Amino acid sequence: MDIDIIRQICLTFPGATEQLQWEHHLLYKVGGKMFCISDLDEPGRVGFKVPDEDFETMTESARFISSPHLARAKWVIVVQPDTLKMREWKDLLSQSYELVKAKLPKKIRMNLL
């Protein structure tokens, strides 16, 4: 998956921002909270939050692994990016955005336009 496509998808969400962090990672945030991370050294290596009930199933698949630093928060990393279709990328990133946005204080959520 091309890093520019990840950027295009993530920045379509209301209030989404992009930030370079840890020298070689692009973070996508909503309300200051991360919902997607991509590795500039390995462009297909993208991490995002998934629903609690989907985490175990996804990490048992060969396409995903649990995120080493964020597994307790139910984050996965895509290890086989070419197996995901564009629709799946959009759905997974949108889902992550919505999960993170839902945890934001109401006042911040109301200002996301």
Question: How far is Cα 20 from Cα 12, in angstroms, rounded to an integer?
Answer: 18
Around Cβ 97, how many Cβ atoms within 10 Å?
A: 24
| Cα 2 to Cα 113: distance, rounded to the nearest angstrom | 26
| Alpha helix positions (H), 28-112 | 52-60, 86-102, 106-110
Architecture of domain 3-110: Alpha-Beta Complex (3.90)
> For a pLDDT cut of 70, what percent of the chain falls above it?
98
- Mean pLDDT of the region 68-77: 90
Taking 70 as the threshold, does the pLDDT of residue 1 lie above it?
no
pLDDT score, position 17: 95
Domain boundaries, the chain: 3-110
Residue 23: predicted pLDDT: 81
Q: Which residues contact 48 (CB under 8 A, 6 or more apart)?
A: 35, 36, 37, 75, 76, 92, 93, 95, 96
